[in-house]
Amino acid sequence: MSAERSIAIFSPGLLGGSLAKTIQQRKPGIEIRIWARRADAVDEVRRDLPGVFASDDLGEVIRGASLAVLCMPVQHMADIARSIASCDLAEDLIVTDVGSVKGGLVSELEAIFAGVQTAFIGSHPMAGSQKTGLTNARGDLFHQAACIITPTENTRQADLDRLRTFWLKLGCRVQEMTPKKHDHTVARISHLPHAMAVLTTLAALGEDASVLDSTAGGFRDTTRIAGGDPAMWAGIFLQNRAEVIAALQDASGVMTELLEMLRTMDEEALRRFLARAKALRDLLPAV
Amino acid sequence: MSAERSIAIFSPGLLGGSLAKTIQQRKPGIEIRIWARRADAVDEVRRDLPGVFASDDLGEVIRGASLAVLCMPVQHMADIARSIASCDLAEDLIVTDVGSVKGGLVSELEAIFAGVQTAFIGSHPMAGSQKTGLTNARGDLFHQAACIITPTENTRQADLDRLRTFWLKLGCRVQEMTPKKHDHTVARISHLPHAMAVLTTLAALGEDASVLDSTAGGFRDTTRIAGGDPAMWAGIFLQNRAEVIAALQDASGVMTELLEMLRTMDEEALRRFLARAKALRDLLPAV
């Protein structure tokens, strides 16, 4: 369980930038190297993250790194992974990611790096914000966040232990599950809520947005994540589409139940239905 | 536009209690009288709200009051209103409420008080919390909250001015609309989000609540209001059922659109759909 000596971060968005800030705060002395595709993004890193090495040259950024973290949108990860795999890599390198979808992606990335005798293990820190980009990066973004890591039958225990230690030291609560179980879980607790926030926003405001003048905290909270980045979420939904469709179908089923209770004015059934939701929601510990 | 001299509050829950605390802070010197149905609730008021007169005798509480505010669940308001109307009332008394539904209720309450030459005007301060009861009452609950008041063709301008002044002095942003327009508006920005939070909770956790271990802020915010009181919300949904059904049907329509885009993997359409929601959500000013 060796400590990391040099960490390469690919793409300096909200997650990549927050990762760099958190490592600087919690593990001072570890070298941080950030790759950005565009020259202006490289300049932004140099300006906003003093002490970090930044470059648009993949080979230069990965050189000597003991851990690499892919932080670009999930739909671009395989391409970047292939480019990294063609570079000169340290023998003890472990590659991970921060993507919201794991199933097909983990198989693909694992195979790419297996071809160059390098370990890949998927990670999904459940941290984020509707505010994207390096300017919104925060050194406390991962604090107390759940981080799901998704080993497979090919994962070596020593590599898994190193990855777990990395996230634990950043302040995450680390959970392990298979990529398939991960995709089911996040469809329920992340992708479904996102979709529902979007649907609530469209149904509430689509016809006449002036109702917003009377908005209270309930609308604000329920729809907050609908402000997220459309391109990123389109990618996530499509990468996890089978599980997202299944979750939305369940939501559609309970919506049909609710509509029926309203139509028949069945107050008793309605109370039980609302009490069932309350009992489930109350399982969530207060912050 | 005379100032109020004595305010009678009927039922000391979250809203009634917060009203009392806010009046004490913002309009010290005004007498506050609270009615509670049960003797133990009367004792609780005496303990938690020093300086407030409390009783389970309606006639005693309304005596001399210039303003009465009905704060019980909407389904009980008409019964209590009839009992109040049979008491000895001050000539300048205005009665209002804090109910989440206005249409049928305002007609009914207006008629009850018109029978004893007393003004009734509906109010709906858009403030609340999933935490109910006097113990959660707060003196800042109404601060900056939208308060919709719903005059009718029977409302006298002087009474409307007094009611508007009352809510303004408590820190509310006062809006005026017809009871019908109110019910449409709150169905969209309050009742629909509540229903969607309930549906999200049931669809996410109904099958296996252990996914909660990986929960992030998105799920927490999107489902917060599903922790609300089931009996109260069953009452609200049924009182406003035509508008709630219409809003849910709109949500069902956009859900069908979303499912179709996922099935056909139409990434462009999906991005536009998510971007439309983001543009609408971004209209809401940041807090």
Six-digit token pair at B137?
Answer: 């009452």
Return the residue matching tokens 């909770």. Answer: B201
Residue B177: phi, psi to the nearest 5?
Answer: -155, 165
pLDDT band at residue A215 using 50, 70 and 90 as cut-offs: confident
Do the Cβ atoms of B230 and A271 come within 8 Å?
Answer: yes
pLDDT at A131: 76
Interface of A with B in 150-189 (CB under 8 A): 175, 184-186, 188-189
Using 50, 70 and 90 to split pLDDT, how confident is the model at B132? confident
Q: How far apart are CA B81 and CA B54, in angstroms?
A: 18
Domains of chain B, first to last: 6-177 (3.40.50.720), 182-281 (1.10.3660.10)
Q: Of B145, B142, B154, B98, which Cα lies nearest the Cα of B122?
A: B98
| Phi, psi at A31, each rounded to 5° | -75, 135
CB B183 within 8 A of CB B103: yes
- Count of alpha carbons within 13 angstroms of residue B59, beta-carbon side: 3
pLDDT of res. A219: 92
pLDDT at A195 over 50: yes
Chain A residues with CB-CB distance to B249 below 8 A: 259
- A133 vs B6, which has greater pLDDT? B6
What does the pLDDT look like over A80-130, one tens digit per residue?
A: 999 999 999 999 999 999 998 999 899 999 999 999 999 999 999 988 766
CA distances from B172 to B121, B141, B146 (A): 17, 10, 6
pLDDT at residue number A130: 66
* Burial letters B138-175, b for 16+ CB under 10 A, else e: ebebbeebbbbbbbeeebeeebbebbbebbeebbbbbb
How high is the pLDDT of residue B182?
A: 96
pTM to 2 decimal places: 0.82
Element (H, E) at B124: strand B122-125
Contact B111/A at CB under 8 A: no
* Cβ neighbours of B270 in A, within 8 Å: 234, 237-238
* CB of B244 less than 8 A from some CB of A: yes
| Chain pair A-B, CB pairs under 8 angstroms | 303
Q: Do A221 and B222 touch (CB under 8 A)?
A: yes
Confidence of residue B128 (pLDDT cuts 50, 70, 90): confident
Tell me the Ramachandran region of residue A148: left when phi exceeds 0, alpha when psi lies from -120 to 50, beta otherwise.
Answer: beta
Binary contact (B190, A218; C-beta < 8 A) = yes
pLDDT tens digits, residue range B138-194?
999 999 899 999 999 999 999 999 999 999 999 999 999 999 999 999 999 999 999
SS3 B33: strand
Contacts of B174 in chain A (CB under 8 A): none
Which pLDDT score is estimated for A1?
35
Distance of alpha carbon B114 from alpha carbon A197, whole angstroms: 43
B201 closest CB neighbour out of A223, A271, A281: A281
Which tens digits make up the pLDDT trace of A155-175? 999 999 999 999 999 999 999
Kindly report, residue by residue over B11-51, the tens digit of the pLDDT: 999 999 999 999 999 988 899 999 999 999 999 999 999 99
Neighbours of A117 (CB within 10 A): 9
* Chain B environment of A128 (Cβ under 8 Å): 216, 218
Average pLDDT, chain A: 94
pLDDT band for position B130 (cuts 50, 70, 90): low
- pLDDT, position B1: 35
Predicted confidence (pLDDT) per residue in B228-272, tens digit:
999 989 999 999 999 999 999 999 999 999 999 999 999 999 999
What is the least distance, in Å, from the CA of B32 to any CA of chain A? Answer: 27
ipTM computed for the complex? 0.83
Q: Do B126 and A283 touch (CB under 8 A)?
A: no
Question: With an 8 Å Cβ cutoff, are B230 and A259 in contact?
Answer: no
Q: Say if CB A8 and CB A69 are below 8 A apart.
A: yes
Residue in A214, A232, A266, A272 to test binding to B, most B beta-carbons within 10 Å: A214
- By C-alpha distance, the chain B residue nearest A215 is B189
From the CA of A147, how many Å to the nearest CA of chain B?
A: 8
Distance from CA of B34 to the nearest CA of A (A): 26
Kind and range of the H or E run holding A67: strand A67-70
Identify all chain A residues contacting B287, using CB atoms and an 8 Å cutoff. Answer: 220
B267 at interface of A, judged by CB pairs closer than 8 A: yes
